[in-house]
Amino acid sequence: MNKDFEIIDHTADVGIRAYGADLKDAFVNAARGLFSLITELDSVDEILQRNIEVDAPDEEILLVAWLNELIYLFDVENVLFKRFEINKLSDTHLEATAFGEKVDKTKHELKIGVKAATYHMTKIVKDDGYRVEVLLDI
Amino acid sequence: MAVPWKGVINKIDDYRWEIPQTYKQGMRVPGLIYASESMLRHIWEDEAYLQVANVAFLPGIVGYSLAMPDIHPGYGFPIGGVAATRLKDGVVSPGGVGFDINCGARLLRTNLTEEEVKPKIEQLTSALYINIPSGVGSEGKIRLNEKEMEKVLLKGAQWAVEKGYGEAGDIMVTEESGCMKRANPEKVSDRAKKRGAPQLGTLGSGNHFLEVEVVNEIYDREAAQVMGIMEEGQVLLMVHTGSRGFGHQVCDDYVRLMGEAVKRYGINLPDRQLACAPVNSPEGQDYLAGMACAANYAWANRQCITHWARECFIRVFNKGPRELGLEQVYDVAHNIAKIEEHTVNGQKITLCVHRKGATRAFPKGHPDVPAIYRNIGQPVLIPGDMGRYSFVAIGTETAMKESFGSTCHGAGRMESRTAAKRNVRGSDVLHELASRGITVKAASMSGLAEEASEAYKDVAEVVEVTHKAGISRKIAKVVPLGVVKG
């Protein structure tokens, strides 16, 4: 599989399926999938960075909480992220740095608003590498 | 030829279909879907009925796990789902309300006619687009400090009217008078407040819109007149939005909390997004207090938008508000949980009624119906897709008896957003609507493609089912003239 992530069809909402050699990669690609829905990733420059820490009772909830933290930052600070580095990842804890810039309407086309990542259909599958799936509420 | 759903879904009559309790082990009640046979085919194919069965797992659920004809798959609960749980031993589920808490519709009437508005529709739609912030990441003109935010959460639409946004009369014709009493801002995270503070008075994106529309057909002239809908050709305005990032964060916070409560209370669920807690537990009570804050935020939001929309009409037509007759018809919630009294098996009981993409439809005479509508029933606002039509209906006694006073809320999606975009471009949608005399201003072209008519069920079919089944009665059909999309 040569893809980092793909978008899954769902009647009302949109899903993301992300791949990675390890779980960190898959979490990074899920985050890129999320922001690719909001805007064209190529239009975003790396001007600022945010450090992010998330805790959760298990891996699946951690994945949802990670994406919801990014949605929160987009909503509150108007930041679009394009690159992510996950510095620490366990079943219950994640530390990451996200790189991007503030929304500039002359430069970024905002495509859709994402309300939240949901727990419905959340999946983390390990075969060759990792595959993660999340359904987003649009 | 045998129908594909044979053995899973049983026909009760032309508009009612039952999923027996035996379909899945763990269902506490059967499922009931309101649909025509042709609509059921789609509900079978997109597997929305599975979610109806899943909701039947909720502890304390009574009667049926219900689905309105606009049902389509959601996350956990189906959209178009209604579930009522007993207060004494039942649960409340944030997923049964959804992320956009109190997403709802508001309808205003005017004295204007299509002939008067048509020559100025470009100007009017532009004025609405400019004066009411819309689109992804849109921020409002109102700045709320912590203290003001608290007042919004406690008072809802009443806060807005006190601040000069709108008129006292608007509140009289708003569900719950635009203010749910159990709201407690302490039960809402700082994150939610931070997310909501800059967004009050914004339309948002997705399926949210403002629509200048024309009365096309009246089915019950007497009831329509009570609502101020006098004749074909009259112009109305519909507002469709909700609680923005504030509600999304309240839902996210509580789904997460309830995920842990589920383990603590030993509740067995087929889907994590159905996470719930007993209504009478601290978690359940806290959610209802937080949800009420979000519901109030949404009512304040629609109230502020209403005010600016009125200003646009006044400016464009250069007439006063009285002359324009810009009065509110009604405002209903489409995503909400309510504590209500209903009669089940001949007994009056208090229930927590979850409406997820469904409208309250109380009959005439019900004490919660505003005085001016008490002789006809509660108005029900059913927005369709932007290219076709929307409906105004009223609640009925049948709804009270069998659907916990609920009916449908809209057209219901049929096609995914990605599929809609594959099939049509936003600019094509714009041209197609323009060729039919509908002016559209949209913040995003791809957003517009996702909302193309073809992506939705025909709302006329949806309303026909609820009308024939008797859970609401159609009063008028309206068609779009100018649309602002987020």
Residues of B in contact with A120 (CB under 8 A): 74-76, 271-273
Closest listed residue to residue B155, CA positions, set B304, B21, B4, B361: B304
pLDDT-derived band at B53 (thresholds 50, 70, 90) equals very high
Bridge partner residues of A83 (DSSP): A99
Per the CB < 8 Å rule, is A119 touching B273? yes
Size of interface A-B (CB pairs under 8 A): 114
Q: How far off is chain B from A42, nearest CA to CA, in Å?
A: 17
ipTM over 0.95: no
What pLDDT, in 10s, does the model give residues B202-235? 999 888 999 999 999 999 999 999 999 999 999 9
Query: Shortest CB distance from B272 goes to which of A112, A122, A137?
Result: A122
Eight-state DSSP code of residue B211: E
Per the CB < 8 Å rule, is A38 touching B136? yes
A55 close to B (CB below 8 A): no
Minimum CA–CA partner of B192 in chain A: A72
Per the CB < 8 A criterion, the answer to whether B332 and B381 are in contact is yes
A121 close to B (CB below 8 A): yes
Closest listed residue to residue A101, CA positions, set A41, A45, A18: A45
pLDDT-derived band at B293 (thresholds 50, 70, 90) equals very high
Q: Sign (positive/negative) of CA torsion B242, B248, B251, B254?
A: negative
For the structural domain made of A5-137, what CATH number should be given?
3.55.10.10
Mean pLDDT of A18-39: 97
What does the angle CA B358 – CA A121 – CA B101 come to, to the nearest 5 degrees?
A: 30
pLDDT-derived band at B194 (thresholds 50, 70, 90) equals very high
Ordered by where they begin, the domains of chain B are 104-414+456-485 (3.90.1860.10)
Half-sphere exposure of B262 (CA within 13 A, CB side): 22
List of residues 6+ apart from B479 with CB closer than 8 A: B213, B214, B216, B388, B389
Residues 173-192 of B with CB under 8 A from A: 191
Q: What is the pLDDT of residue B417?
A: 86
Residues 278-337 of B with CB under 8 A from A: none
Minimum CA–CA partner of B191 in chain A: A72
Q: What is the pLDDT of residue A30?
A: 98
B444 pLDDT exceeds 90? Answer: no
A7 close to B (CB below 8 A): yes
What pLDDT, in 10s, does the model give residues B35-52? 999 999 999 999 999 999
Residues of A in contact with B48 (CB under 8 A): 11
What pLDDT, in 10s, does the model give residues B390-407? 999 999 999 999 999 999
A106 close to B (CB below 8 A): no
Residues of A in contact with B449 (CB under 8 A): none
What pLDDT, in 10s, does the model give residues B320-379? 999 999 999 999 999 999 999 999 999 999 999 999 999 999 999 999 999 999 999 999
Name the percent of chain B lying above pLDDT 70. 100
Q: What is the pLDDT of residue B138?
A: 82
Per the CB < 8 Å rule, is A112 touching B73? no
pLDDT-derived band at A50 (thresholds 50, 70, 90) equals very high
Q: What is the pLDDT of residue A46?
A: 97
Mean pLDDT of B247-266: 96
Burial class (CB in 10 A: 0-12, 13-18, 19+), B438: buried
Residues of A in contact with B260 (CB under 8 A): 57
A2 pLDDT exceeds 70? Answer: no
A1 pLDDT exceeds 50? Answer: no
B409 is catalytic: yes
Question: Any idea where the domains of chain A sit in the sequence?
Answer: 5-137
A12 close to B (CB below 8 A): yes
Per the CB < 8 Å rule, is A119 touching B248? no
Interface test with A, best of B70, B252, B427 (most A CBs within 10 A): B252
Say which amino acid occupies B452.
A
Per the CB < 8 Å rule, is A115 touching B256? no
Q: What is the pLDDT of residue B1?
A: 64
Rounded to the nearest integer, the mean pLDDT of chain A is 94
Cα–Cα distance between B372 and B395 in angstroms, integer? 14
Rounded to the nearest integer, the mean pLDDT of chain B is 96
CB atoms within 10 A of CB B190: 9
B480 pLDDT exceeds 50? Answer: yes
Per the CB < 8 Å rule, is B248 touching A111? no
Catalytic residue (one of B307, B409, B431, B467): B409
Per the CB < 8 Å rule, is B260 touching A57? yes
Minimum CA–CA partner of B411 in chain A: A12
What pLDDT, in 10s, does the model give residues A73-130? 999 999 999 999 999 999 999 999 999 999 998 999 998 899 999 999 899 999 889 9
Q: What is the pLDDT of residue B416?
A: 87
Cα–Cα distance between B61 and B42 in angstroms, integer? 26
What pLDDT, in 10s, does the model give residues B460-470? 999 999 999 99
B191 pLDDT exceeds 60? Answer: yes
Closest listed residue to residue B368, CA positions, set B391, B333, B341, B344: B341
B225 close to A (CB below 8 A): no
pLDDT-derived band at B422 (thresholds 50, 70, 90) equals confident
Per the CB < 8 A criterion, the answer to whether B386 and B483 are in contact is yes
A14 close to B (CB below 8 A): yes
Q: Sign (positive/negative) of CA torsion B143, B145, B148, B152?
A: positive
Mean pLDDT of B113-129: 98
CA distances B315 to B120, B311, B312, B388, Å, are 11, 6, 5, 28
